[in-house]
Amino acid sequence: MIAAPTPLDGPLFLVDSSVWQRVGRSREVRLALEDCASAGYLCVSAPIILELGFSAPDPSAWDRVMGDVGDLIELPLTGRTREVAAQLQGLLWHRGLVREVGVFDTLTAATALEHGATVIHYDRGFELLASVSPDFHQRWAVPPGSVP
């Protein structure tokens, strides 16, 4: 994994597992990631890496996934990540949305907030997080419902 050097000279795109899982099946998703890569830096975080590893169907697929993400910038979870994630979760609770957004998505959003990154996703939960935290930047990789 490449540690995130500071400062970086372009935008950071924290790519959620919901996108990585569709890259091999969708030309549109691949093109969207290529656009992000040409505009800035594709990044991952520990929760995303672990989700991808958990979803691998067998050990050789796990090895392949870990190799694929190995050259990307990893945005670290810092000592403040838990605090930011808890604040986001509290905002979700107070809007009646806490059961709509998973813990890993909340950690991903907190990591993005800490590093000034935009989350690229294919997951409605990130829109909900943005609805309670205007400083959180997110973008669908491709329009919702356009790929399986």
Q: In this predicted model, what pLDDT tens digit does every residue of 93-125 receive, in sequence order?
A: 999 999 999 999 999 999 999 999 999 999 999
Q: In this predicted model, what pLDDT tens digit does every residue of 8-63 receive, in sequence order?
A: 788 999 999 999 999 989 999 999 999 999 999 999 999 999 999 999 999 999 99
3-state secondary structure of 108: helix
Find out whether the peptide bond into 76 is cis, omega within 30 degrees of 0: no
Distance between CA atoms of residues 69 and 100, nearest Å: 27
Structure tokens at 68: 């694929």
Distance between CA atoms of residues 54 and 66, nearest Å: 11
- Structural domains in the chain, CATH included, are 9-139 (3.40.50.1010)
Task: Give the distance between the most distant pair of CA atoms in the chain.
Answer: 43
